[in-house]
């Protein structure tokens, strides 16, 4: 989920960064009246994310460009699958090509990597959450990509919920005081989450009435014990050092959520090409 108005403002910056003063090659080598058609194709298996954003890059740069989008975000495609057909003034297509491909390759890479983590815990009740450790300027779109891969969004920003971390708690004089203060002032529909790294803190957070408790860098035995002690009185989120080879074991403790930034930080861009179809 993303806001089209906000994306259009970002596209201006993306294009300005790539073009500079002028696309020298396109202006020198391509006739001003040349028209072309290009096919955007997947060159490896992937989960698509950002295809409509890529289309917006082309049409926002030049309203004479038309884009036929052939897939939807969240779809799984195989190598060779057609994603879109782009037609219009050849200069414009070639100028906007790299920016459009960069964003759809990046977002589809995140969606594809996220799906690997989701599949690893599919046999449990746990749901995968994303984090705020996103690329500056791309949070809205990267979180959209995470959802395309099957994750749930955590906080979109600092205004999306109250998360009481160790430093907040220390300044407030303890978990009980921190939760009480937050509860007195937080909008009624906003959740309060408390970060805990010890079982005694978990007990205090439950007693204070936290809605969600983050089990931060806890051992597997301690996570399982936290699940037993909390017994459904708060939702439990496991976080810290989660990897693809460890996430299933974490999920099997019985936690409700597992948050990790790895799909953002380690996902390779997938291979998508813009192949020439016809020109006149």
Q: Which residues are catalytic?
A: 98, 133, 165, 195, 216
Torsion on CA atoms 115, 117, 122, 124, rounded to nearest 10: -150
DSSP β-bridge partners for residue 239? 216, 259
Residue 68 to residue 79: CA distance in whole angstroms = 19
Place of tokens 């038309």: 66
What residues contact 30, with CB distance under 8 A and at least 6 apart?
Answer: 90, 91, 94
119 to 48, 128, 247, 258, 269: CA distances (angstroms): 16, 10, 10, 13, 20
What residues contact 63, with CB distance under 8 A and at least 6 apart?
Answer: none
Question: What tokens does 17 get?
Answer: 């960064």
């Amino acid at each position: 989920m993303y806001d089209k108005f906000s994306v259009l403002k970002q596209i201006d910056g993306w294009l300005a960064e790539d073009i500079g003063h002028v696309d020298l090659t396109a202006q020198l080598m391509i006739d001003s009246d040349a028209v072309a058609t290009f096919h955007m194709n997947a060159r490896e298996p992937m989960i698509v994310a950002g295809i409509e954003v890529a289309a917006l890059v082309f049409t926002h740069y030049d309203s004479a460009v038309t884009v036929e989008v052939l897939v939807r975000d969240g779809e799984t495609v195989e190598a060779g699958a057609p994603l879109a057909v782009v037609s219009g003034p050849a200069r414009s297509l070639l100028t906007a090509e790299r920016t459009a491909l960069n964003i759809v390759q990046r977002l589809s890479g995140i969606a594809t990597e996220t799906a690997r983590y989701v599949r690893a815990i599919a046999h449990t009740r746990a749901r995968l959450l994303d984090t705020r450790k996103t690329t500056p300027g791309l949070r809205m779109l990267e979180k959209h990509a995470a959802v395309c891969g099957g994750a749930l969004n955590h906080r979109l920003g600092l205004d999306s919920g109250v998360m009481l971390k160790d430093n907040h708690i220390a300044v407030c004089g303890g978990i009980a005081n921190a939760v009480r203060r937050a509860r007195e002032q937080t909008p009624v529909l906003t959740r309060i989450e408390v970060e805990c790294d010890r079982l005694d803190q978990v007990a205090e957070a439950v007693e204070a009435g936290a809605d969600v408790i983050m089990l931060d860098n806890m051992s597997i035995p301690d996570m399982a014990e936290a699940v037993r002690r909390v017994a459904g009185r708060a939702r439990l989120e496991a976080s810290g050092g989660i990897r693809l080879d460890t996430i299933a074991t974490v999920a099997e403790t019985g936690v409700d959520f597992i948050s990790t930034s790895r799909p953002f930080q380690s996902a390779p861009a997938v291979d998508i090409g813009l192949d020439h179809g016809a020109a006149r």
